[in-house]
Amino acid sequence: MTEQELTDRVVASFDTAKDERFREVMRSLVRHAHAFVRETGLAEDEWTAAIEFLTEAGHLTTDTRQEFVLLSDVLGISMLTVAVNEPALDGPAEPTESTVLGPFFVQDSPEIELGGDIAGGASGEPSWFSGTVTDTAGHPVAGARVEVWEADDDGMYDVQYEDGALAGRAHLFTDADGRYRFWGLTPTPYPIPDDGPVGRLLDRAGRSPMRAPHLHFKVTAPGFHPLVTHIFVADDPWLDSDSVFGVRDSLIRPFDRHEPGTPAPDGRRPQGTWTSASFDIVLRKE
Ligand code: BEZ
Ligand code: FE
């Protein structure tokens, strides 16, 4: 059997699969994986090392530590999957672009009122976030569920805390005019977890684990495609080398800095400096 015959036989072994999409994906996976082995002339000990790498990633993975998501992220596969599924335009306003979900989304975040605070004890400089949720024709989307989560100023998400606290995350609903507003923290750069095999891979490549500062959004509303995205902080040096390739220019916003005691839009006068950013979100109809 020649090498090509081997590939052809493995591809054909999926002909009997009943599910058409499964058949298509598996045939393509085999073709590309075999081409990779051929192109690199993959040595047996290299394949063994790859399997050991994946085994270690599996052993490290728990409910709160997802090494395979990190691997997908640092190889740009998460972001490419986002990009190939990006919906086409369907109105005069472009739908807000998506980016990676990341491993730190949690289903049951606390609900806050409009203007509430998501920090829940997470440390950092206060930041006032506000904006609208509209459809592509510019009509407000009332009652949209806006989920937000971010790291504290030590670069830690609450799920990485040892005490199990919920902090730096919440959800709220847009008002009748499609508006939302809340207090969060000014996003700061932080490293993705790099104490496992993915961290070693980055190190070997001479790559940094740092993410450009951001706050995560997941916005859902009946009749609209769910949107998973971030707001990024303008002028940050990490924007050009985000470790998971998640930055999109359309998601970068200025964060205005305010002096201590300056009144915020809700009348509060934070004792220290604070920032504010606005981020209008456009959802695409289903
Ligand atoms: C995050 O932004 O939370 C994240 C994304 C990808 C990998 C690790 C963290
Ligand atoms: Fe993040």
Q: Are residues 117 and 258 both part of a single domain? A: yes
pLDDT value at residue 108: 87
Q: Please indicate, yes or no, whether residues 53 and 103 belong to a single structural domain of this protein.
A: no
Q: Is residue 68 part of a domain?
A: no
User: Do the domain assignments include residue 20?
Assistant: yes
Kindly state whether residues 90 and 26 are assigned to the same domain.
no
149 lines ligand 1 (CB under 6 A): no
Average pLDDT of the residues in 139-144: 98
118 shares its domain with 250? yes
| Pair 90, 51 in one domain | no
Could you tell me if 119 and 261 lie in one domain? Answer: yes
Alpha-carbon gap, residue 7 to 31, rounded angstroms: 7
**Same-domain status, 84 and 177:** yes
Whether 111 is covered by a domain: the verdict is yes
What gap in Å lies between CA 228 and CA 226, rounded to an integer? 7
Among 11, 33, 62, which residue terminates a domain? 62
100 lines ligand 1 (CB under 6 A): yes
Nearest-CA neighbor of 233 among 269, 279, 180? 279
Q: What's the pLDDT tens digit per position in 14-24?
A: 999 999 999 99
Query: Does one domain contain both 159 and 125?
Result: yes
Grade residue 198 by pLDDT with cuts at 50, 70 and 90: very high
CATH number of 209's domain: 2.60.130.10
Structural domain contains residue 204: yes
pLDDT per position as a tens digit, 26-71: 999 999 999 999 999 999 999 999 999 999 999 999 988 899 999 9
As a whole number of angstroms, the distance between CA 15 and CA 30 comes to 13
Q: Do 32 and 94 belong together in one domain? A: no
70 lines ligand 1 (CB under 6 A): yes
Work out the average pLDDT over 196-220. Answer: 98
pLDDT at 145 (0 to 100): 98
Please tell me the total count of domains within the chain: 2
Residue 238's domain spans which residues? 80-283
- Rounded to the nearest whole angstrom, what is the distance from the C-alpha of residue 150 to the centroid of ligand 2? 6
Q: Following DSSP, what letter does each residue of 7-45 receive, concatenated?
A: HHHHHHTTTT-S-HHHHHHHHHHHHHHHHHHHHHT--HH
172 has a pLDDT exceeding 80: yes
Closest Cα to atom 2 of ligand 1: 102
Pull the structure tokens for residue 70.
Answer: 């990190």
pLDDT(90) > 90? no
- Please give the distance, rounded to the nearest whole angstrom, from the Cα atom of residue 214 to the centre of ligand 2: 6
pLDDT digits (tens, 9 = 90+) for 251-264: 999 999 999 999 99
Does the residue 265 lie in any domain? Answer: yes
| Spatial separation of the C-alpha atoms in residues 260 and 262, rounded to whole Å | 6
C-alpha–C-alpha distance, residues 116 and 112, integer Å = 5
Percent of the chain at pLDDT exceeding 90: 91
State the average pLDDT for the chain. 96
- The most distant pair of C-alpha atoms in the chain lies apart, rounded to whole Å, by 78
> Does residue 158 line the site of ligand 1, with CB under 6 A?
no
Clarify whether residues 215 and 276 are in a common domain. Answer: yes
Confidence band of 87 (pLDDT split at 50, 70, 90): confident
